[in-house]
Amino acid sequence: MTYQFPFEKLIVWQLAIELADSIYMLTDKYPSDERFGLVSQLNRAAVSVSSNLAEGTGRRSFKEQARFTTIAFGSLMEVMSQCVLSERRQYITASQLKEIRSQILELATKINNLRKYQLSQSEKYVTSKPNLDELKEDLPFYGNKFLEEPNERQRQMNAEGKLNAEGKLNAQRAAEPYYHHPTAIIDPNTQIGKGTKIWHFSHIMSNSQIGEACNIGQNVVISPEVVLGNKVKVQNNVSIYTGVICEDDVFLGPSMVFTNVINPRSAVSRKSEYLETIVKKGASIGANATIICGHNIGRYAFIGAGAVVTKEIPDYALVVGNPAKQIGWMSEHGERLIFDESGKAVCAGSGEEYELKGGLVRKLLP
């Protein structure tokens, strides 16, 4: 392995990166309600250590470098304090705290040594008053006690039986049958099928079920006991609340939303009054549509963008508006059906034939 930048050869920077990896591995298991609390604080502090060490090497004087090294040390102490709190809150075990403390002690010693060296060199510059050319060097030479060749460092890590934290995390995710972006929150006791993808900042809550080959977009909320079938596509910013069941091949457009209570009040708990809403196989719900709870959506129905559904929607129906009104019929392929006098229609996209009889549509078998 060949490093591209001088700071990457600093032992102290390498240790700081290892610490950041360790912290990220730990916080990955913290409770979801700490995501914007202790998890965020710990991750930022851990990243700050290596970042300030790296930024310091870009400064042209030892005095400036010492300032960034001091900031890195302060961030390191912040990490230690937050890890102690994590152990007290039982987010990490005593043995995990002991391991992190050992890493921090080693790193603190090396940061202090580096800072002392930088300050001593800074004083030499001040007392000897060198010419300006001497101050233009990009990275003063720290000496062998601060530098170590990457290959040797790697051999040492292997000898100690350490694995890169990122590698551990990747291995863990590879073992899962589905993919989720690191920013997504997956609560315990969820069922997620093979091949499903869950993208940025989405939250899958406990006791929900997601089938195979689903695509859950960015910033999606799936509440407890929600059930999604196979190959369901959920676009960005969708809220799916308790009581909703989506069968296979359902499409939920961007920013559409389900409700689960007819008469919500902030001061009145109505969790026992949630109404069930079933979206049947192949139905599509357009962007910004709202589905009032307790009204089922029929097979291959098509809900237009911005529609507000306030009643049951039959199979293959096309509805638009607020409140939603039926204006026609749609094929399974997603094409408008135009029925002749005999009640027959042919899908322009697939060539399949449909029949309208008694106010209901069915697809005719070939």
CATH code, domain carrying 242: 2.160.10.10
| pLDDT at site 135 | 35
Q: Is there a single domain that holds both residue 200 and residue 158? A: no
Q: Is there a single domain that holds both residue 104 and residue 244? A: no
Q: Is there a single domain that holds both residue 267 and residue 184? A: yes
User: By CB neighbour count within 10 A (0-12 exposed, 13-18 middle, 19+ buried), where does 234 fall?
Assistant: buried
Q: Is there a single domain that holds both residue 141 and residue 41? A: yes
Q: Is there a single domain that holds both residue 205 and residue 313? A: yes
Specify the higher pLDDT residue, 278 or 143: 278
Contacts of 6 (CB under 8 A, 6+ apart): 57, 138, 139
360-363: strand order across its sheet: 344-346, 353-357, 360-363
- How many C-beta atoms surround the C-beta of residue 56 within 10 A? 25
Least confident of 122-126, 209-213, 264-268, 338-342: 122-126
State the CATH number of the domain containing residue 127.
1.20.1440.60
Specify the higher pLDDT residue, 2 or 274: 274
Q: Is there a single domain that holds both residue 14 and residue 159? A: yes
Q: Is there a single domain that holds both residue 150 and residue 294? A: no
Q: Is pLDDT above 70 for 98?
A: yes
Structural domain boundaries, residue 226: 176-330
> How would residue 7 be classed by pLDDT, with cut points 50, 70 and 90?
confident
197-198: strand order across its sheet: 179-180, 197-198, 215-216, 233-234, 251-252, 284-285, 302-303, 317-320, 325-330, 336-337
Looking at the domain assignment, is residue 10 inside a domain?
Answer: yes
Q: What percent of the chain has pLDDT over 70?
A: 84
pLDDT, average across residues 174-199? 88
| pLDDT at site 60 | 74
| pLDDT at site 156 | 54
Q: Is pLDDT above 90 for 145?
A: no
What is the rounded distance in angstroms from the CA atom of residue 92 to the CA atom of residue 67?
32
Mean pLDDT for all residues in the chain: 85
Q: Is there a single domain that holds both residue 197 and residue 218? A: yes
Q: Is there a single domain that holds both residue 244 and residue 285? A: yes
Are the C-beta atoms of 227 and 246 separated by less than 8 Å?
yes
Lookup result for tokens 């010419």: 131
pLDDT, average across residues 10-20? 89
pLDDT, average across residues 114-129? 66
Q: Is there a single domain that holds both residue 180 and residue 73? A: no
User: By CB neighbour count within 10 A (0-12 exposed, 13-18 middle, 19+ buried), where does 12 fall?
Assistant: buried
What is the rounded distance in angstroms from the CA atom of residue 301 to the CA atom of residue 283?
5
Q: Is there a single domain that holds both residue 47 and residue 84? A: yes
Specify the higher pLDDT residue, 159 or 6: 6
Q: Is there a single domain that holds both residue 131 and residue 203? A: no
Q: Which tens digits make up the pLDDT trace of 237-284?
A: 999 999 999 999 999 999 999 999 999 999 999 988 999 999 999 999
Question: Comparing C-alpha atoms, which of 54, 53, 50 is closest to residue 22?
Answer: 50
| pLDDT at site 137 | 33
Are the C-beta atoms of 53 and 9 separated by less than 8 Å?
no
Q: Is pLDDT above 70 for 134?
A: no
Are the C-beta atoms of 229 and 213 separated by less than 8 Å?
no
